[in-house]
Amino acid sequence: MAWRGLHLTQPSRLSLADDQIVIGQDDGEVRLALEDVAWVVVDNPQTSLTASLMSACMDHGIAVIFSDSTHTPSGVTLPFHRHHRQADIATRQVAASAPLKKRLWQAVVRQKIENQAAALDVVGAGGATTLRAMSARVGSGDPNNVEAQAARYYWGKLWRDFRRDDSGDRRNKLLNYGYAVVRSGVARALVASGLLPAFGLKHASVSNAFNLADDLVEPFRPFVDILAWQTVGAGAPCREDLSIEDRRAMAGVLLADATLTDSTVSLLGATERSAESLSRALESGTPAVLILPQVPR
């Protein structure tokens, strides 16, 4: 079972040999079994990959994430088919009723806000009780947009002088890096469960190939927030670029602990189990079987 990620910040030559990823760098060579790897972040433009390795990554369901010139993840490769009931599951997904999708979105938003409250507890900020009260007010489909109200309150408590739309702020750079990695992990899990990432519950942009991933990723975001806060602290705005250490920290967010029902799993494992439960929820027509990650307390 895949359990590890690979973050490449130095010029590398990636190839395939004996069902292993061969990583060649100036100081030597490292090999990793493909079956152990869940995601690869290519964070250096002087990295080359062979076509045979990319094909093998798709066969093993490995998400390969590429960064742009600013070292921000900008794209991900995913396999076409990863489930033996692909067509059947996709058909049920597309045919899901509006009331069911609204109730599923309600569950997603409620858990996101609960996790935001837990994140405030983890970093020692106040306001968790208010957020939990907001979570209880989320209705089917979130018609009153409690999600946005909670977000405004949450960011004001998590960091002072913080604006989520300030792309130059180091804190936002950390968040965006981590969100991209988690989004890729969620998309990987959706594909593995036979779901189509383009068809969402709430998100429905005609230009977005990851609408469903952008739905399901919401309860995972506070895990990234905690890691970013632990990396940068509670300071004021900072215009610095992300260091290699910053990027390495955020690239490892899928290894963070999460709680599912009464067990502790990695965030990577949580993406897989949440995607599987979403598939079951769409098939059974009830949101009661949807399992979403909780921030450990």
**Cβ density class 153-189: b for 16+ within 10 Å, e for less:** bbeebbbeeeeeeeeebbbbbbbbbbbbbbbbbbbbb
- Chain Cα centroid distance, residue 176: 11
- Chain Cα centroid distance, residue 139: 24
The answer to whether residue 204 scores a pLDDT higher than 80 is yes
Residue range 220-262, pLDDT digits in tens: 999 999 999 999 988 777 888 999 999 999 999 999 999 998 8
CA dist., res. 143 & res. 120, Å (int):
25
Mean pLDDT confidence for 180-186: 96
CA dist., res. 199 & res. 144, Å (int):
23
Token code pair at residue 223: 């895990």
Residue range 32-74, pLDDT digits in tens: 999 999 999 999 999 999 999 999 999 999 999 999 988 889 9
Q: Is 195 exposed, middle or buried (CB count within 10 Å of its CB: 0-12, 13-18, 19+)?
A: buried
Using left for φ > 0, alpha for ψ between -120 and 50, and beta otherwise, residue 130 falls in alpha
pLDDT of residue 43: 95
Residue range 98-119, pLDDT digits in tens: 999 999 999 999 999 999 999 9
CA dist., res. 188 & res. 78, Å (int):
7
Q: With H, G, I as helix, E, B as strand and everything else as coil, classify residue 274.
A: helix
pLDDT tier for residue 270 given thresholds of 50, 70 and 90:
very high
pLDDT of residue 263: 94
The answer to whether residue 82 scores a pLDDT higher than 70 is no
pLDDT of residue 81: 63
